[in-house]
Amino acid sequence: MSVLLYLPALAFCFFLGITLQPDISWQLTEICDNAIDDDGDGLIDLNDPDCDCPVASPVSLIPNPSFEEKNCCPPDRSRMDCAVDWIQASEATTDYLHTCGWMGWDDLPPPLPFPDGEGCIGFRNGRIGFGGEGPRANWKEYAGACLTSPLKAGTTYRFEFYIGFTNFHNSPPTDIVFFGSPDCAYLPFGVGNPDYGCPMNGPGWLPLGDVFVNGTNQWKQKEITVTPTQDIYAIAIGPNCSEAPPQFSYYYFFDNLVLAEEKDFNFKITADGHPCSENITLKMPLRDTLQYQWYKDGVAIVGATGPVIENVTEEGNYQVRVLGPNSCRVTPAFRYSIPVVHGFDEQTICKEDTYFFGGEALAESGIYWDTLKSVHNCDSIVRLILTVLSENTDTISAKIFEGESYQVGPQYFSAAGDYDVALTSHLGCDSFVHLALDFYKIFIPNAFSPNGDGFNDMFTVFPGPDVQEVVGIKVFDRWGGLVYEAAELSKSRYSDGWDGNTHGKPAQPGVYIYEVFIVFDDGKQRLVKGSVNLIR
């Protein structure tokens, strides 16, 4: 046994019948453009540290540009305070959305996925009044930040950002303005006044640039080129300074706000075509001195060695490794994803009717979902709120004055009584109305005797409970001469009225004509005419 202790390890294993495979992975090198795990470490191409190459990505002077860093998950709207380094610039509050918490208004869903990460912000331009208040055309929501280092006067910068749209009604084409300030002390602005409007309604702000953009249920990337004439330390972004149209509350989203010197954007991937189409093209700027290699999710696309790659159909993160004579750079990841369009519909049908939605006949009230195809071949998730009207029976109690009529649908009624009326709504639904019709109660005497005996000495109006106000009385003799006039007679004092005198003297016995103006409980003023006999 002592001899075996001195045998070489391999010989000892052979003696025991054991075969060892030598580890030679340390001798292999990962080839970074063949989509193979050459060194057997489970990592392929750019995912392997052996293929490390600096990312040619501009570093944004705006902190937390994609709203990923947070100190809380937003529990509700208006929680910009949850996003690290961002300032609620305006008193009208922007909304912070994050997949860990609040994800927006039910009727204003953001396009998904977000362009970069799991957070974004939503903002309004104008607001429809809530709780009975009128429209607020200067309700404008802005987000702002102090820059990590200032924009230097005379230097050209590029501001790239994504803006998201809901449906066309809530997110029409808009003008986005990029504002700057020479001092962070001007953030926030308009404190205490949610109708302050844009930053330029006060001191310390100037417009750096703007861009017009449109879209529907999607994200659009836009850019603004800026060469400031003074150093800029703070920025704000949001709608332009024009008042929003009345009765509208427009809503949009922001994500991935990158601000850097223009030269830092030289190498980036751009896309041509709608994300849902079958012919998406990704491209890079062409440089004759450079070699290109495309990657999806860090794995090389074998043969894709030009500045353009066509007919992209697979979702993922696309990058390009760019080799120069003495350099290696990798572009920032371009996220290609097929967006999901969100739609909303609301319908009302009669009790016995059905509504066809997603190939199904619906006959009950509720919320329904279906996935359709949009004009660009995107999946369109439609939410339907369906209301089924039951057979309605209403009871109406109404009063009219003699000689008038009351209308229910196409029918008119001029006599007191109870009526059952069948109607058809504008939707074609049947409904029934029970009408209880009566006359207004009022008593005006046809004779009076002003002889001082305490009985029937005054011509006046005796209103019933249906009368709101006796506006006035006029009495004329038989030749049309005005003998008495009074206004605003009390409903409770029967002494108000004509005492039979005119111009301080007793009027002659006989027939007189009266006009009484009365407001009834329907708010309408009516003229009641008649005659009264003065007896002495």
**Alpha carbons 320 and 57: distance in angstroms, whole number:** 12
Q: Is there a domain that residue 65 lies in?
A: no
Same domain for 476 and 495?
yes
User: pTM of this prediction?
Assistant: 0.52
Same domain for 99 and 22?
no
Same domain for 325 and 430?
no
Contact 204, 186 (CB under 8 A): yes
Q: Give 493-525 pLDDT, tens digit per residue.
A: 445 789 999 988 999 999 999 998 888 887 788
- Domain encompassing residue 494: 442-534
Among 388, 421, 454, the domain-final residue is 388
For the chain, how many residues are written?
A: 536
Q: Give 339-359 pLDDT, tens digit per residue.
A: 777 777 888 888 778 898 878
Number of domains in the chain: 6
Contact 385, 345 (CB under 8 A): yes
Q: Give 283-331 pLDDT, tens digit per residue.
A: 988 878 789 999 999 999 999 999 999 989 888 999 999 887 777 889 9
Among 388, 404, 422, the domain-final residue is 388
Categorize the per-residue pLDDT at 188 as very low, low, confident or very high, splitting at 50, 70 and 90.
Answer: very high
Same domain for 282 and 368?
no
- 480-to-232, 474, 501, 506, 529 alpha-carbon distances in Å: 85, 11, 16, 18, 14
List the CATH number of the domain containing 211: 2.60.120.260
Same domain for 423 and 518?
no
Same domain for 212 and 93?
yes
- Annotate 62-75 with b (16+ C-beta within 10 A) or e (fewer): bebbbbbebeeebe
Same domain for 254 and 302?
no
Among 312, 336, 360, the domain-final residue is 336
Higher pLDDT residue, 519 or 27? 519
Q: Within 13 A of 171's CA, how many CA atoms are on the CB side?
A: 26
